[in-house]
Amino acid sequence: MKINDIRTSEIYFGNRALSEAEHVIRTLGKRALVVTGRNSADESGAYPDIAGLLERNGISHVRYSGVRENPSVSSCFEGAELGRAEGCDFVIAAGGGSAIDAGKAAAFYLANPGSAREEIFNVTGDHSRPSPLLAVPTTAGTGSEANRYSVLTEDGGAKKHTYKTGYSYPSVSVVCPRYTYSMPEKYSLSTALDAFAHSIESYLSPKSTEQSREYALSSASAIWDVLKDWPGPLNEEDREKLSRSAMYAGAAIDVTGTGFPHPMGYGLTLGYGVPHGSACALFEDAFIRYNMITKEGRRLLGEFCGSLNVSPEELGDRLMRLPGVELHIGQDTAEELISRVEAASNFRNSPYILSRGEMSDIYKRLFK
């Protein structure tokens, strides 16, 4: 089915979404650069379906499968160089948020030959618009299919930076819940936690709108339905709920951005291999507790938790425990991780604004 209430990209949703979108996909170009990770595009069934569709429509393709989790700027650049050398005129990204975000960056580089790697973080009017992009997610978490963000890791792996412009949305997204069935439990949980993090952080943002709050609340309550009984086998209905919710939560953060759990979590992901959504979830308890100090935070969390039928305290505690992560991080390392992210605008994107000392306190409490 075509999704009409998210206007960021042309989105098709459901287990028949790829064939429903076929008439649009065939207009995107004549030779595709297909950007994927190592295995998920094949394991999920997305790549075989896409290759079949392309062949049926006389569209050739070349595949770049060098994307890794938390994609590096260089891998996106390298993918685009392959696409250029092979005469590709559009990009298809199939995989988790890492592959979709890498596809967005590759679409920029493909359309901007001669651009240096770091220019992607400083796009100006002199740059060309990115090449057309089809996004086919195989996780239900980031919502990258419905927003303009592409989170990239600088070469060397110390920091994440976001590429975003008014043109970095996928041209077309195909969200097929069936492609998420093959996700191992660790990633099913982490991606659900990520989508939940987007919902709550977006809901508390001063930039939220009536529509973004509606997206955030509907996705949060559907995800909470699944998370509150976790662990449990996920059936097809759960998978559909999670894919739909991740997409709407992705559209919500397109309006608002995310809150402080996101940058606080980056160091755990890059330095300790904690998957992105699980890393964010560890900080949601602190996000809730500090925001409860303010009147506006209490009002918003009252509405949010009321619609989930859970108290803010219970919600924070459950989110912090679900990842099952036990880490010990020494004070010096914690300070170093904080210094890499403390200037992020996310820290000003909720009613309560943390001080530097409070950032350290949160790390001490969680990882002593």
Residue 137: half-sphere exposure toward Cβ, Cα within 13 Å: 30
Burial 66-95 (b: 16+ CB within 10 A, else e): bbebbbbbebbbbbbebbbeeebbbbbbbb
Q: Does 350 bind ligand NAP (CB under 6 A)?
A: no
Of the candidates 42, 145, 194, 285, which one interacts with Zn ion according to CB under 5 A? 194
Per-residue x/- mask for ligand NAP, residues 99 to 138, rule CB under 6 A? x-x------------------------------------x
151 contributes a contact to ligand NAP by CB under 6 A: yes
Instruction: Single out the residue of 83, 96, 103, 263 in contact with ligand NAP (rule: CB under 6 A).
Output: 96
**By the rule CB under 6 A, 75 interacts with ligand NAP:** no
- The residue with its CB nearest to Zn ion is 194
Could you list the beta-strand ranges (E) of the chain: 2-3, 10-13, 31-36, 60-64, 90-95, 133-137, 150-153, 160-163, 172-175
Report, in Å, the least distance between residue 95 CB and ligand NAP.
4
The binder of 132, among Zn ion, ligand NAP, none, by C-beta within 5 to 8 A per type, is: none
Between 38 and 84, CB nearer to ligand NAP: 38
Does position 238 interact with Zn ion (CB under 5 A)? The reply is no
Tell the residue number behind the tokens 């190592």, with chain if given.
38
State the Cα–Cα distance between residues 246 and 193, nearest whole angstrom.
10
CB of 149 to ligand NAP, least distance (A): 4
The values of phi and psi at residue 336, to 5°, are: -65, -45
284 binds, options Zn ion, ligand NAP, none, Cβ within 5 to 8 A by partner type: none
β-pair type (160-163, 150-153): antiparallel
What is the distance, to the nearest Å, from the Cα of residue 164 to the centroid of all Cα atoms in its chain? 13
Q: Please choose which of Zn ion, ligand NAP, none residue 49 contacts, taking the beta carbon within 5 to 8 angstroms, the exact cut-off set by kind.
A: none
CA distance 155 to 158: 8
Q: Measured from the CB atom, is 61 or 198 closer to ligand NAP? A: 198
Give the per-residue contact string, 158-197, with ligand NAP (x = CB under 6 A; - = no).
---------------------xx-xx---x---x--x---
With CB under 6 A as the contact rule, which of the stretches 96-104, 107-115, 293-301, 337-345 interacts with ligand NAP? Answer: 96-104
Instruction: By CB under 6 A, name the one of 72, 131, 142, 219 that touches ligand NAP.
Output: 142
Closest to ligand NAP by CB, 194 or 292: 194
Nearest to 223 by CA among 243, 203, 201, 204: 243
Contact, 141 vs 96, CB < 8 A? yes
- The stretch near Zn ion (CB under 5 A) out of 58-66, 70-78, 190-198, 267-275 is 190-198
C-beta of 40: minimal distance to ligand NAP in Å? 3
HSE at residue 190, side-chain half, CA atoms within 13 A, is 19
Please report whether residue 37 would count as binding ligand NAP according to CB under 6 A.
yes
Can you give 46-112 as a three-state secondary structure string? HHHHHHHHHHHCCCEEEEECCCCCCCEHHHHHHHHHHHHHCCCCEEEEEECHHHHHHHHHHHHHHHC
Closest to ligand NAP by CB, 36 or 112: 36
CA dihedral (140, 77, 69, 240) in degrees, to 10, reads 10
* Site residues for ligand NAP per CB under 6 A: 37-40, 43-44, 69-70, 95-99, 101, 138-139, 141-144, 147, 149-151, 179-180, 182-183, 187, 191, 194, 250, 276-277
